Amino acid sequence: VTAACLFLRPFITFLLPFRSPVRNVVLGGLLQYERRDIKFFKQTTQKIFEVFPAYPPVPEPGLEGCRTCAVVGNSINLNKSHYGKLIDHHTFVFRINAGKTKGFEEDVGNRTTHRVMYPESATNLDNSTHLVLFPFKIRDLQWLVNAFTTDNNVMVVNPAFMRYVHQSWLKKKGQYPSTGFMVVILALHLCDEVRCRIKNSGPVEQLR
C-alpha cells in the first residue's frame, strides 16, 4: 500500500446530513453538551430550516484550473519568515481565529478570503472575507438564525463534517477536532493543493 493510498483512505465522498426536515434522527456526539432539553434543541434546529434551504444547490466543479489553499495560523514561527507573498499568491487564504495581518504583511500576507473563528469573536470582518463557522453548540445554531438575516458572507459547515473528521481522520481521539485541524481537512476537500502554516517550525508544508 503506497503512502498516497494511506493518506486518501479517510476520505468519504458522501455524508449523511446532521438533520433535515424529513430526518428527525440526530446523529449523536455532534454538539457540545448543554443544559437544554431536547424540545429546545428541536425548536432551534427547526428555525435553521426556516433560514437555510433543506437541499441547497450544489454548483458543478469549475474549470478554473488548479485551486490552491493556504491555511494560516497564528504561530510565532511565522515571524520573520517572509512568507507573505507566497501566502497571498494562493487562490484561497484561510486564517484561523483573529490573527492580525496589519503590520505583519511581509511574513503573513494581507489577503484573507476565509476567516475561521467562533461567532462571538466575528466582528469587523471586511466585505471580501467570508466567516467560516463550524457549529458545535446549540448557541452556535441560535447565532446562525440571527447572522443570516444580516450577513451573507457567513459560510456554515454542516456538523456532520466535524463528526466525519473526528471518526475518519482522528479515529475518535479526543473529544472534538481542533479548529486548525478542521480547516486543514476542509481545505483538502476544496482545493487541489494545500499549504499549511500553523505551528510547526519547518518550511511551509504541502499536503496535497
Residue 161 sits in a domain whose CATH number is: 3.90.1480.20
Confirm whether 23 is domain-assigned.
Answer: no
pLDDT tens digit sequence for 59-85? 666 666 788 999 998 888 888 889 999
Confirm whether 42 is domain-assigned.
Answer: yes
DSSP state of 13: S
Phi-psi region of 109 (alpha: psi -120 to 50; beta: other; left: phi over 0): left
**121 vs 185 pLDDT, higher one:** 185
* Separation of alpha carbons 139 and 44, rounded Å: 9
> Which cell numbers in the block locate residue 200?
510547526
Confirm whether 31 is domain-assigned.
Answer: no
SS3 category, 146: helix
Q: Is 140 a residue whose pLDDT tops 60?
A: yes
Confirm whether 76 is domain-assigned.
Answer: yes
- Hey, which of 105-119, 153-167, 193-207 has the most confident mean pLDDT? 105-119
C-alpha count within 13 angstroms, C-beta hemisphere, residue 23:
9
Q: Is 207 a residue whose pLDDT tops 60?
A: no
Q: Minimal CA–CA distance to 141: which of 51, 9, 48, 5?
A: 48
Confirm whether 141 is domain-assigned.
Answer: yes
Confirm whether 25 is domain-assigned.
Answer: no
Q: pTM to 2 decimals?
A: 0.75
Confirm whether 58 is domain-assigned.
Answer: no
H-helix or E-strand spanning residue 197 = strand 193-197
> What local confidence, expressed as pLDDT, does residue 94 receive?
94
Confirm whether 178 is domain-assigned.
Answer: yes
Structural domain span for residue 194: 37-52+65-206
